[in-house]
Amino acid sequence: MTTIDVRNGRLSQERLDLNFSDSHPPLEPGNALVEANRCYFCYDAPCIEACPTSIDIPSFIRKISTGNLKGSAKDILSQNIMGGMCARVCPTETLCEGACVRETQDHQPVRIGELQRYATDSFIESGETFFERAESSGKKIAVVGGGPAGLSCAHRLAVLGHQAVVFEAREKLSGLNEYGIAPYKTVNDFAQLEVDYILKIGGIEVRTNQKLGHDVKLDNLRKQFDAVFLSVGLGDANSLGLENEEIAGVYDAIETIAELRQSENLAELSVGRRVVVIGGGSTAIDIAVESKKLGAEDVTMVYRRGPEQMNATWKEQEFAQTNGVQVKHWLSPKKLKSENGHVSGIEFECTELNHEGKLSVTGEVRSMEVDVVFKAIGQTLDNSLDSDDEMPKTRAGKFAVNAKYETTLPGVWAGGDCINSGEDLTVQAVEDGKQAAISIHRKLSQT
């Protein structure tokens, strides 16, 4: 008979503060200069191509090296209005830095992300902006969902002279930047700082606590606005499909992370002593590391395939491991055990790839004792959006769009995690929003 151990206050306040401080502290001016000087100023640079928002990286880095920080920030923000957040959260190892020629040369890419943060931080803090709005077009666009995709779209629309109205279900803007991203990547309330910066352009009206399908209806929006942009992200979490998944101690990682992000006092959060995380993506990495940082003793991430198939990048896997997370592969959850209605153990089947290259079970079984299980196996479109309104058609579980970000419904565009544009990343959402705004602008300018 085991005793379930879930409680708060496992670590001292001091320890918590340290654990949740900036995981990559900002560059000092001297280091920034040295790093900037490592850039070769490549022609037709491969890093630009690898950035979903096509920031002119050699240009902004050169401007850092000449002390033209304002020009540098402008190069970044004019392509990516969330250049500050992206500098903190982009998996640069698979994006710009992965393509940097210095990665090819000596496995030491220019630290583009950190330089980007260096350039944008000082500018955003200065409170200045260089964006100017074009003459008013008189057009009004509804943006549904105030995450990275929605805000990026609204901002670009405002620049182009349109009026944007953002309908956001939650209390705060910024989507997963505020409710999802790991806290040690974005300390000091940076998400809201960035929102303030973005809204400063003017021409963006924000209506929070307005949920599509609940408080507002798509049909009405289509009638009242010249265009609608859907950027609702992915509202539902996948389930394991096990019998008693609803028992206490089994949680959606996303929900717990949102609680963590909104918590005023981390010491009050309940943490299991032995934590199992199921999944192989960045959300799984995050909840595992966060649990560890909150004081869990044993954190085990369990994935049903091998390290190469994980969605988490090699760097994220390394980060989890250096933070004391144990990673186990080739195990698929089979059964949850419980005591008095609370999870107490979990059983896995061993898996392998069979000769056809398909995942199959070997017949062997492993079991672990646990206090808390997190599910982090992906999200899907929120199915409560489906009111009696006509909704755009979906493809592979997300809104289907064409190259111009148009959905199957006339006058309705979509972007961000709720479409299949690229990876589900902040930077991709920002690009989607920007391109959709440009597409909407073109369409509205024709009429």
Partner 1 sequence: MADLSCNVGGIKAPNPFWLASAPPTDKLYNVERAFRAGWGGVVWKTLGLDPPIVNVSSRYGAVHYNGQRMMGLNNLELITDRPLEVNLKEIKQVKKDWPDRAVVVSLMVPCNEKDWKYIIPKIEDTGCDGVELNFGCPHGMSERGMGAAVGQVPEYVEMVTRWVKESSDLPCLVKLTPNVTDIRKVAHAAKAGGGDGVALINTVTSIVSVDLDQMAPEPTIDGKGSHGGYCGPAVKPIALHMVTEISKDPETQHMPISGIGGISNWRDAAEFIAMGASSVQVCTAAMHYGFKIVDDMIDGLNNWMDEKGYANLEDFRRMAVPNVTEWQFLNLKYDVKARIDESTCIHCGLCHISCEDASHQAIREIKDNGGRSFEVIDEECVGCNLCMFACPVPDCISMERVDSGTEYQNWTTHPNNPMRVEDN
Ligand X SMILES: Cc1cc2nc3c(=O)[nH]c(=O)nc-3n(C[C@H](O)[C@H](O)[C@H](O)COP(=O)(O)OP(=O)(O)OC[C@H]3O[C@@H](n4cnc5c(N)ncnc54)[C@H](O)[C@@H]3O)c2cc1C
Could you give the C-alpha distances from 424 to 51, 52, 428, 430, in angstroms and in order? 14, 11, 7, 11
- Is residue 131 packed enough to be buried (19+ CB in 10 Å), middle (13-18) or exposed (0-12)? middle
Can you read off the two tokens belonging to residue 1?
A: 């008979």
How many residues bind ligand SF4 (CB under 6 A)? The answer is: 15
Contacts made by residues 286-289, CB under 8 angstroms, sequence distance 24+: 286/181, 286/182, 286/253, 286/257, 286/376, 287/253, 287/256, 287/257, 287/374, 287/376, 288/320, 288/325, 288/374, 289/182, 289/319, 289/320, 289/323, 289/325
Does 98 engage in binding with partner 1 (CB under 8 A)?
no
Does 400 engage in binding with partner 1 (CB under 8 A)?
no
* Partner touching 362 among ligand SF4, ligand X, partner 1, none, CB below 5 to 8 Å by kind: none
- The closest of 40, 212, 177 to 110, measured between CA atoms, is 40
Site map for ligand SF4, 296-335, x if CB under 6 A? ----------------------------------------
Residue in 12, 13, 66, 105 binding partner 1, rule: CB under 8 A: 105
Does 52 engage in binding with ligand X (CB under 6 A)?
no
Q: Which helix (H) or strand (E) holds 87?
A: helix 83-89
Cβ(249)–Cβ(373) below 8 Å = yes
Does 167 engage in binding with ligand X (CB under 6 A)?
yes
Cβ(83)–Cβ(76) below 8 Å = yes
| β-bridge mates for residue 301, sequence order | 277, 327
Cβ(11)–Cβ(295) below 8 Å = yes
- The closest of 206, 74, 158, 205 to 440, measured between CA atoms, is 158
The three-class DSSP label of residue 398 is: strand
Q: Report residue 204 CA to chain centroid gap.
A: 23
Residue in 146, 280, 333, 378 binding ligand X, rule: CB under 6 A: 146
Does 51 engage in binding with ligand X (CB under 6 A)?
no
Does 40 engage in binding with ligand SF4 (CB under 6 A)?
yes
* Partner touching 252 among partner 1, ligand X, ligand SF4, none, CB below 5 to 8 Å by kind: none
Residue in 6, 11, 33, 42 binding ligand SF4, rule: CB under 6 A: 42
Residue in 46, 98, 161, 324 binding partner 1, rule: CB under 8 A: 46
Residue in 32, 36, 45, 430 binding ligand SF4, rule: CB under 6 A: 45
Residue in 12, 104, 108, 208 binding partner 1, rule: CB under 8 A: 104
- Among residues 34 and 187, whose Cβ is nearest to partner 1? 34
Does 232 engage in binding with ligand X (CB under 6 A)?
yes
Q: How far is the CB of 275 from ligand X (least distance, A)?
A: 16
Site map for ligand SF4, 109-148, x if CB under 6 A? -x-x------------------------------------
- Among residues 66 and 265, whose Cβ is nearest to partner 1? 66
Does 212 engage in binding with ligand X (CB under 6 A)?
yes
Cβ(166)–Cβ(206) below 8 Å = yes
Q: How far is the CB of 75 from ligand SF4 (least distance, A)?
A: 12
- The closest of 260, 263, 291 to 371, measured between CA atoms, is 291
Residue in 5, 22, 40, 161 binding partner 1, rule: CB under 8 A: 40
Q: Which residues bind partner 1 (CB under 8 A)?
A: 33-34, 37-38, 40-46, 65, 101-102, 104-105
Q: Which residues bind ligand SF4 (CB under 6 A)?
A: 39-42, 45-47, 57-58, 61, 100-102, 110, 112
